[in-house]
A = this chain, B = another copy of it.
């Protein structure tokens, strides 16, 4: 039997070749019974769609999209902010993992202030230009998540626990509790929590960390003081400003000095270290500092920074593997893959029980 064509299939199935083409390209537009008749004819004839036809129906290589759902932001002004959000690292990790697996990675942002953002992502889905999506969002009620659920499109949420979805998240509450326990063991009794949500954004991870902070204080019998919870942006500048403001308030005699800071991120912590250094406050002798993320840089700051190490590569691998299962149909959509990844506190000079030589 020679190479079968779309017309042979049409003849056998008793339909027009346009209908066969439609099955190849947009099967969802063809009535189920018609589709099944045509698919049977294809099998009977050992029909192999031409490359061109197949590339319409399904990309030759599979692809997934990483979609960052951001809050409302003015454009360039906050570009630096996004640099600091370290999406780049996670994105690069996804690039690394998808590449190893022969997948193509597509990158998309949705800014909250972009009215077309959601519809553009909806078109990414409805035109099936990707096979699955990894969602990055701050809030459980992010509209993108609702959209993907409604479309029943394969997706996994990264860095956020959203009930009813597949997700990979670090155990933020445990992480913060471990960090504060460590500070208390080292001798700290008056510990500041820098929120990283100074712009009022609703940041689920930050809220979880605050719970861990509260847990550790409670178990040690230490009071939860309002003046120890400091709103600051999740940047080095934010940490720097918040620390300066804190020290200036103390200079005016209002309140006692804290002996530790739990910063929302390493970048916030770097800003805090700088402000403390400029004011001549010794770290860790007078104030201990802990960060989150364990950026490479923390090993080289002065003093080096104690930080919460996040298993980014493991999380990315889990999220990717889950997404592939959903795409390939080896995992049922309601068989939820939800994992909280344990973190690890990496202790360095900034929290040493006694000052370094």
List residues of chain B with CB within 8 A of the CB of A321. Answer: none
Question: How near does chain B come to A91, taking the closest CB pair, in angstroms?
Answer: 6
Number of copies of this protein chain within its complex: 2
Question: How near does chain B come to A194, taking the closest CB pair, in angstroms?
Answer: 14
Please determine whether B99 and A61 come into contact, CB atoms closer than 8 angstroms: no
Q: Looking across the interface, which residue of chain B has its beta carbon closest to that of A116?
A: B102
Q: Looking across the interface, which residue of chain B has its beta carbon closest to that of A129?
A: B59
Please determine whether A129 and B107 come into contact, CB atoms closer than 8 angstroms: no
Please determine whether B120 and A96 come into contact, CB atoms closer than 8 angstroms: no
Q: Kindly identify which residue among B96, B271, B302 contacts A109, using a CB–CB cutoff of 8 Å.
A: B96
Question: How near does chain B come to A36, taking the closest CB pair, in angstroms?
Answer: 21
Please determine whether B129 and A80 come into contact, CB atoms closer than 8 angstroms: no
Q: Kindly identify which residue among B52, B75, B99, B296 contacts A267, using a CB–CB cutoff of 8 Å.
A: B296
Q: Kindly identify which residue among B75, B82, B91 contacts A107, using a CB–CB cutoff of 8 Å.
A: B91
Please determine whether B236 and A299 come into contact, CB atoms closer than 8 angstroms: yes
Candidate in A63, A86, A109 with the most chain B CB atoms within 10 angstroms: A109
- Tell me the A residues contacting B by CB distance below 8 Å: 25-26, 51-52, 55-56, 59-61, 63, 68, 75-76, 79-80, 82-84, 86-89, 91-96, 98-100, 102, 104-109, 120, 123-124, 127, 129, 235-236, 240, 267, 270-271, 273-274, 277, 296-297, 299-302, 304, 313
The contact sample of 19 A-B pairs, CB cut-off 8 A, is A60-B127, A76-B313, A80-B296, A82-B92, A83-B92, A86-B88, A87-B92, A88-B88, A91-B91, A95-B108, A95-B109, A99-B108, A235-B296, A267-B297, A270-B297, A273-B300, A274-B301, A274-B302, A301-B302
User: Given A55-B56, A105-B107, 9 other A-B contacts at CB below 8 A?
Assistant: A26-B52, A61-B124, A79-B93, A83-B296, A96-B109, A104-B129, A270-B297, A301-B302, A302-B302
